[in-house]
Amino acid sequence: MQELNVVGKSVRRKDALDKVLGKSQYSGDIKLPGMLHVKVLRSPVAHALLKNIDCRAAESLPGVHAVLTAKDIPESNTHGIIIKDEPVLVMDKIRKIGDPLVVVAAETEEIALRALSLIEVEFEELPAVFDPEEAMKPEAPKVHDGGNIQSIRKIRKGDIEAAFAHADIVVETSYRTQMQEHAYIEPEAGVAYLDGDVVVLRVSTQNPHFDCKEVARNLALPLNKVRIVQAPTGGGFGGKLDISVQIYIALLAIRAKRPVRLVYTREESMLASTKRHPYVIKYKTAADKNGKLMAIDVIVIGDTGAYASYGPGTLTRSAVHATGPYEVPNVRVDAYTVYTNNPTAGACRGFGVPQLAFAHEQQMDMVAQRAGISPIQVRLLNALRPNSQTGTGQVLETGVGFVETIEVAQAKALEVLGRIC
């Protein structure tokens, strides 16, 4: 490739100097004159009808400036990147532990916490569902009115039945993967204040323009009256793509007419943020006696928890990538996004592909073993190369460096491990 002047050089990061000096102002470091502190009251139950919230005692606590419930959200009271199925504050139905019920702005964090303790909440608990396969059954408690199967993504290519009928090697395995926490070291945080008639937020986020739309819609403001400025952000990994503090602080800054700040504790961050989808994967592979792939037949069930978040996008990506980086002439994939009363799962580094890789790569090794070839050989035999066709019928003309990655890794393995797979 052509040698360039700046591209291809390991120049110093733009933000490195401020970061090593401790000068970067993350959202939780920002202090504004007259700033109030915000706390959120969250549900201790997973599935319930919300009957009543009594905030009177909290409102009369000295130092409390605003106590807001769902009734105080000007419009919509929903958010979500793909489907607007998540309330800003619960109006009538709780769907998970940690669902937000009330937000409080007070002079200090301590007063805000004390105010939360004075709020009386009445629930009527409902039967809940925590297992995605149970949730798919018609008799399961419904998390949302439309049923628990939020969506299905299908891939269909070629003739699966014929391929399996003629296969020399069939490998069938079930896999399960766990719920993973993003575990960015900076918990969610943000400040909001008024600049004339514009509400300005400095916030830890991966998607400021999305935040802007969600804040504006719920506050019934035009988009240009909401300004989202991303503060230096201490990691995200997909967990700061959804709305966290944004709508609460924008609303409270306007209602209290004071700057406000909300910094999640670690526990609140873990409780309220999305997670990596736990998967159930039923994976069946067909190959000929040489180890050449003939077909895959895959069912994926992703537990998206109480709200969709990036769930349908994650399962769609899983379906597309289910073949792995291999040419597979016959493909059947059904990928289900399923609601339960578990913590919400959303985007998490890899978007459903790590789960599938855990499955398809073990399948490949098992095919190799049955065909009597090495793990490297089975991959080279089936690898996507220039002009290969993917499971969705896309022809990859150029930019396919897969085989080179195998060769480079193999050479390094010989060098440092003294052996290859």
The answer to the question of residue 60 lying near other proteins (CB under 8 A) is no
- Chain residues 345-384 in contact with other proteins, contact rule CB under 8 A: 347, 349-351, 353-354, 357-358, 360-362, 364-366, 375-376, 379, 384
Residue nearer to other proteins on the CB measure, 145 or 415:
415
The answer to the question of residue 270 lying near other proteins (CB under 8 A) is yes
Among 144, 208, 288, 329, binds other proteins (CB under 8 A): 208
Q: How many beta carbons lie within 10 A of that of residue 259, not counting itself?
A: 21
DSSP bridge partners of 298: 283, 333
Size of the site for other proteins (CB under 8 A): 155
Q: How many beta carbons lie within 10 A of that of residue 264, not counting itself?
A: 22
State the minimum distance, in angstroms, from the CB of residue 366 to other proteins.
Answer: 8
State the minimum distance, in angstroms, from the CB of residue 73 to other proteins.
Answer: 21
User: Tokens for 62?
Assistant: 């000295």
Work out the end-to-end distance of the chain between its first and last CA atoms, rounded to an integer number of angstroms.
30
Whether the CB-CB separation of 218 and 71 falls below 8 Å is answered with no
The answer to the question of residue 394 lying near other proteins (CB under 8 A) is yes
State the minimum distance, in angstroms, from the CB of residue 329 to other proteins.
Answer: 14
- Chain residues 120-159 in contact with other proteins, contact rule CB under 8 A: 121, 123, 125, 128, 130, 153-157
The answer to the question of residue 337 lying near other proteins (CB under 8 A) is no
The answer to the question of residue 71 lying near other proteins (CB under 8 A) is no
The answer to the question of residue 413 lying near other proteins (CB under 8 A) is yes
Stretch touching other proteins by CB under 8 A, among 3-11, 85-93, 253-261, 290-298:
3-11
Among 3, 52, 145, 185, binds other proteins (CB under 8 A): 185
Residue nearer to other proteins on the CB measure, 114 or 255:
114
State the minimum distance, in angstroms, from the CB of residue 360 to other proteins.
Answer: 8
State the minimum distance, in angstroms, from the CB of residue 226 to other proteins.
Answer: 7
Among 35, 102, 103, 186, binds other proteins (CB under 8 A): 186
Stretch touching other proteins by CB under 8 A, among 71-79, 161-169, 227-235, 286-294:
227-235
Among 15, 54, 75, 172, binds other proteins (CB under 8 A): 15
Residue nearer to other proteins on the CB measure, 147 or 375:
375
User: Tokens for 211?
Assistant: 């935040």
- Chain residues 295-334 in contact with other proteins, contact rule CB under 8 A: 310, 313, 316-317, 319-321, 324-325, 333
State the minimum distance, in angstroms, from the CB of residue 163 to other proteins.
Answer: 16
The answer to the question of residue 32 lying near other proteins (CB under 8 A) is no
User: Tokens for 192?
Assistant: 């909001």
Among 80, 100, 190, 236, binds other proteins (CB under 8 A): 236
State the minimum distance, in angstroms, from the CB of residue 167 to other proteins.
Answer: 20
The answer to the question of residue 9 lying near other proteins (CB under 8 A) is yes
Q: What is the 3-state secondary structure of the chain?
A: CCCCCCCCCCCCCCCHHHHHHCCCCCHHHCCCCCCEEEEEEECCCCCEEEEEEECHHHHCCCCEEEEECHHHCCCCCCECCCCCCECCCCCCEECCCCCEEEEEEECCHHHHHHHHHCCEEEEEECCCCCCHHHHCCCCCCCCCCCCCEEEEEEEEECCHHHHHHHCCEEEEEEEEECCECCCCCCCCEEEEEEECCEEEEEECCCCHHHHHHHHHHHHCCCHHHEEEEECCCCCCCCCCCCCCCHHHHHHHHHHHCCCEEEECCHHHHHHHCCEECCEEEEEEEEECCCCCEEEEEEEEEEEEECCCCCHHHHHHHHHHHCCCCECCCEEEEEEEEEECCCCCEECCCCCCHHHHHHHHHHHHHHHHHHHCCCHHHHHHHHECCCCEECCCCCEECCCCCHHHHHHHHHHHHHHHCCCCC
Among 5, 52, 196, 197, binds other proteins (CB under 8 A): 5
Stretch touching other proteins by CB under 8 A, among 70-78, 104-112, 245-253, 286-294:
104-112
State the minimum distance, in angstroms, from the CB of residue 122 to other proteins.
Answer: 9
